[in-house]
Amino acid sequence: MDNYEKNWENALGELELLISKANFTTWFKNTFIAEENDGNIVVGVPNAFTKVWLEKKYDDKITSALESVLSKSNLQVIYRVESKGKSTNVSTKPVDQGIKKITPVYNSNGNSEKVINKFGLNPSYKFNSFVVGPGNELAQAAAHASAQKPGALYNPLFIYGGVGLGKTHLIQSVGNYILAKNPEKKILYINSEKFTNDFIFAIKRGQTDQFKEKYRSVDVLLIDDIQFIAGKEQTQEEFFHTFNALHQNNKQIIISSDRPPKAIQEIENRLISRFEWGMIADISFPDLETRVAILQMKAASKNYNLDQDIIHFVAANIQENIRELEGALNRIIAFHELNNTRPTLDSVKSILGGLSTNPKKAGLTSKKLLGVVAIFFDIHMDDLLGASRKKELVVPRQISMYLMREELKASYPNIGRDVGKRDHTTAMHACIKINKMLEINDKIKNDVAVLRQKIYE
């Protein structure tokens, strides 16, 4: 058994613990490590459908498993349709999507020739492929202005919104725009989980100086999902000093989150105040016209023609998540290319599995909904269902009742029964109050938007 085979077998052993037996057998059969080169791992897969599925559904788990097995960080995994010893199709997944160390490239004389400045950026994320609509136009305008004059206008720029609404696309567009104008700029894109892991790794290896050099020597720092540093005191401390070092040198900082700064629990006030120094912009759910435009652009970028009735069907039935829109499009394309057929409205309805009825809702129960709300607001379930009238408990309780009414279509008596055996008039009052608050309170509006997605994850 060669090293490739042994490493992949060990990685599969870890993956098997995380994935159901049926899915593991379906998607990992006849896969293998085809190549390993300078931190890039090429995984051979048997067909295009498997390639698309692994990229979209299991990439994070596969990368994590390989990093664990190989004792390496920041690996880039590439998927390629290939049988052992014979390549049939090169992956279109960008090789430079993973984070790389800021390392000079030397010529044969040992002198520094140039510095690679493109770290973690997906080259397909650009402003001209970002569809602007009523829900994101402010965030797009602020991002574009920051790209034109980095460090001068909105610094930091804090963009927040629900899962899959385009935050990553937008902040990476800034990096790609700046690099196109000035290739000498050092751009670093990373999510907060990677920042945390890099910091922990640096402490363990006694390499904190290298860590600081990596993060504090960039011209633009793009950091995704900052909410995940909540509760991590040492990480917050390090990010605080990194932020200050960059900001004092007029280096552009762009941050994304699933909620506004003040709504992130267990995060230091000094960080919240810095997040609010510059511009805060939200991204909300795209309207139907925007979703149609997004699908049209995605299909065009893949050189794939879809009838308008199919595009409108998909756009009408996937309303809250752009990633799901693209995922549905990829499924449609992959299925019909593998079967050498043209999509029809009936075939698309079949592939997407009764999409119009939103099958995710079938698995949602009041117990699961209440559990998600309790975790989101960091409160005990007993307190959520209890009699306390403290504001930090009353508002989550009322939001729970509102979501049960809106998402489960539960009756007021059933809502009252499930939330601490309350009277139906209490449930009715809660729903009316949250409805009114959604019109005037941005924090409540954002919390409800995030929870609408989390209860279906």
DSSP H or E run through 48 = helix 48-53
Look at residue 60 and tell me if it is in a domain.
yes
pTM (2 d.p.)? 0.56
Q: Which of 248, 283, 318 is the last residue of a domain?
A: 283
Amino acid identity for residue 263 in this structure = A
Q: How far is CA 395 from CA 158, 257, 372, 437, in A?
A: 26, 22, 14, 10
Whether residues 204 and 188 share a domain: the answer is: yes
Distance between CA atoms of residues 324 and 238, nearest Å: 35
CA 391, 393, 396, 397 dihedral sign is negative
**CATH code of 235's domain:** 3.40.50.300
Domain count, the chain: 4
Tokens linked to 117:
């400045």
Look at residue 161 and tell me if it is in a domain.
yes
Look at residue 415 and tell me if it is in a domain.
yes
157 close to 253: Cβ distance less than 8 angstroms: yes
Q: Is the peptide bond before 260 cis (omega within 30 degrees of 0)?
A: no
Whether residues 145 and 200 share a domain: the answer is: yes
Whether residues 336 and 375 share a domain: the answer is: no
Length of the chain: 457
Tokens linked to 427:
């449930």
Domain hosting 279: range is 118-283
Amino acid identity for residue 74 in this structure = N
What pLDDT digit, counting tens, does each position of 279-318 carry? 888 887 787 888 888 898 888 888 888 889 999 888 888 7
- Per the prediction, the chain carries an average pLDDT of 83
Q: Which of 249, 283, 317 is the last residue of a domain?
A: 283
**CATH code of 375's domain:** 1.10.1750.10
Look at residue 107 and tell me if it is in a domain.
no
Distance between CA atoms of residues 174 and 179, nearest Å: 9
Tokens linked to 431:
């729903």
Distance between CA atoms of residues 186 and 250, nearest Å: 14
What pLDDT digit, counting tens, does each position of 76-125 carry? 899 888 877 544 443 333 333 333 333 333 233 333 333 334 577 888 89
Whether residues 272 and 134 share a domain: the answer is: yes
* Per-residue pLDDT of the chain in tens (457 residues, 90 and over written 9): 567 888 898 889 888 877 766 567 777 888 999 888 777 899 998 877 678 778 878 888 999 888 888 888 888 899 888 877 544 443 333 333 333 333 333 233 333 333 334 577 888 899 988 888 877 888 899 999 999 999 988 899 999 888 788 899 999 999 999 999 998 899 999 999 889 998 998 999 899 999 999 999 999 999 999 998 988 999 999 999 999 999 999 999 999 998 888 878 788 999 999 998 988 888 877 878 888 888 988 888 888 888 899 998 888 887 767 888 888 898 899 888 888 899 998 888 888 865 544 545 556 788 999 999 999 999 999 999 999 989 889 999 999 999 998 888 777 778 988 999 898 889 889 998 998 888 888 888 888 988 988 887 7
Look at residue 98 and tell me if it is in a domain.
no
Contacts for 283 with CB less than 8 Å, ≥ 6 apart: 135, 136, 139, 159, 160, 161, 162, 165, 166, 167, 170
Whether residues 159 and 263 share a domain: the answer is: yes
Whether residues 259 and 318 share a domain: the answer is: no
Beta bridge mates, 87: 82
